[in-house]
Structure formats: C-alpha cells, structure tokens
A and B are shown apart, each in its own frame.
Chain A
C-alpha cells in the first residue's frame, strides 16, 4: 500500500488550511486505483519540537517519528497559510529540520491559503522553489484557496480534483519507496578509501 503524508501548517482550529489539505488528500485518494494509506499531520502540534530541533540539532521523539514518516512517504500534500507573502515560518522550519535528502524524487502536491486571491502566486514564488530545491517532483497543479473561494463557484473544486489526479498518477508511476538508512547499510570502508 502506498503512503500519503498530508502536512498542514494551519494555525487555528478549525483551519481553512487544514480544510484544503483534507480536500486535497481526499481527491488524491479518490483518483488512486489502489489503496492509499493517509496520515495527516498538524505542524502546530510540533511547533516547540521543531524550534528545539533547530536549536539543538536533534529531534524529540514525537517529531522524529513524523520526520521518519515523511521520509518514507510515497507522496506528500503540503499546505501552508500565506504569511507576509510567503509560506509560514513554521512550515519552512519543518522542512529545515527534515533534511535535504528526504524528499528526493517524491511527488508533492502544494497548496496554500490566504485572505485574498492577490496572494495566489505564493505557490509559484515560495512553495514550488522550496520543493524544487529539495528535488521533489512537484505536480503541475498547485491549489490556492482564498477565503472567498469557500463560498463561490470559483473553480476550487475542479482545481482540487485535477491536482489530486496529478499526484495520484505520480505516486502510481513509482515503485513503493524503500528508505535506505546508512546506519543499517554503511558504505564499505574500502569504497571510502577509494
């Protein structure tokens, strides 16, 4: 079974960021022929651990478990509220402690929420470059939801459905992820000696 991890950096409860994340996860599941195991993570609950990991260099057990889950995911939905024209600091900090190899070749669906549609390019100017740096495979459709999208026929549902289809296709195109831990399989020393 493929594993989908859904990250929401929403701050309030209920949160429109979480709402969008859930809709994107549902669309991905609906578009997936095979079974999909979905795990949803609220970064808010890990806020202190994320800051502590930034300061100390190691993650507390609860955060480490989530980092491991993300590093083993076959697909990722990542949704942030827009803050000062970018993703939230907590959202970025999570990926700073995740490490830069964890998402290589992993399909990612990006989403963002904001007060008005004027911020919608946050997806292209902030989120997409972050995941490009991490060498993730970001699906073409990112979904931005402004507050008024939740009460209008603005095509949000269609965008969500298209994005979910794209992510499901990318997950299906890859064999299930096998995570190699160098602590289990070290590079033999003769090889290190060159």
Chain B
C-alpha cells in the first residue's frame, strides 16, 4: 500500500514544473503557435535564474566580507533582492526565447516545428553550457553551483506545514512558487474562458484570418500569448532548480519534463484548470515506481511505470480525434503561419 501522506507531496513537487510548462504551452497553443521549444525555454528559464542568483550571491559574499552583519543593506534589501533577481532573470531569459520564436514564426513566418526544435536544441545547450561553465566563466572560487541561500527563500514552506499533521504535509508543505503555479493556471483558465482577451486569443488560434477581419491584432496576440507562455514555462524551470533541487544545478537533471508538459497540453485538452490535477497526476506517475513494492530482482518494471504518462497521453490524443468533438480539438490553425494577403 502506498503511503499517501508521503506520496502526494512528492507527486505535487514533481507536478509543479509540469504545471508551469503546460499552462505556458496552452496559452501559446491557443494563439495557434505550436511551440516545441518549451523544453528549451524551461532550461533557459532555470539557468537564467541560476545565473542571476549566482552572480548576486557572489556579490553579496564580497560585500559581506567588508561590512558588518547588521548592515541595513544586508538585512533589508538582500532578502528581497535574493528573490527578485533570480525571478526577474528567469522571466527575462524566457521572454527572450519567446521573442526569438515569435520573430521567426510570426514575423518571418518560418516553420513552427523546425523553429521549436531549434529552440529546444539551443535552450538545452544554453542551460547545460552555462550550468557547467558558469563557475569558470565568472572566475568564482567555489567547487559547484549550490545556491543554498537563494533556495532557502524559494523553498520556504507555509508556517502551519509542520503543525497540522498530514493535512499540513499534503497542503502546506510547498514553496511559494508552487502555490503561484496554481494561481497562474486558474488565472489562465479564467482569462481564456471568460474574458475578451481570451475570446480574441481563441479566435486567433482558430482562424487568424477571421480574427484579423474582426479587427483583432493577430500579430500582437501571437507575440503576447507566446511570450507570456514562455515566461510561465520558464518559471517551471526556476521552481525546479530553486525549490525542488534546492538550488543545485546539475546538467540534464531537468530531463524530459518539457516534453511531458507538451503531452499534458493534449491530455488536458487545452484547459489550464484541468492541468492542475493532471500535472500532479503526471508528477505522481513520474515517481510512482519509487512507491510501488519492488521486487529487487525486477527493477526493470520501474521503467515501464515511467512510460505510463506518455501512453495515457496517446490514448487521450487518439480518443479525442476519434470522437471528433469540435470543442476538444486542437486550435484549428495550430502550427500554421498566417499571412494576410495570401491568395
């Protein structure tokens, strides 16, 4: 029997990066852009946060060496900046990735699949390169990147996590970015479903020509949705490294979570609110093997459990295409460039 009290929190922390990734990708795909660069974006988001935090921690260290501990700068501004600097660096890095994607696919009308794959190549390479070379490049005197100070802020649990027993463990034992991811997903769902911006976004993704003739600025919506989507996805990378991995960067550790996030988009049939539960479910499936009774002679079944999220996604993809219900289909213009004067 699985111990749910220890399983659920582990599933949740696995699910949070996926939730950021899938929410970002849903927002992007709603505009008709199939961004296969999301895995790369999440790497860039993570490493940008790391670069920001690393440089800041180094700077604080040298500052500390020359100032007293009770310095107001250290007590007041440093905690705030420790959060803001990685956060902003992460958002900036992801935003730049989004802009590259949009410039190529929207402005220059390049093929979305090729652009996306190139972004993933670039992004993963960028992450691994700086992850492994940051220390040398900055000439710092540390053995490895371990941003424990920054991580301390990002993995701050809610105050009642320890005092409320199993309830606290399941609901309160996460860092602030985890709760923020749920807020973002809910906000995205409401905006897409209920607001004018969301209506226009859906229209752009369904039929850019129609949206255009209705006076909606297609280019702006595509840029906006994709860039915001990338920034949301980037936060997933930041959460992973700062909270889940407690500030320790190791190359390729993020793995294939970016692709899993894209799978989630299909699994949730383009609904960010569904993604909250689906992400945690996928997160659970991702680590399920750790909790199942394992015969030490048959460790191989672990690998089959890891396959479950992808198989489940395929099943959903197939079922929605067979049922062919109009509301559950991918945005009709997904993957296609738009050129107004095409004829």
A, B in one complex: no
Which B residues are within 8 Å of any A CB, using their own CB? none
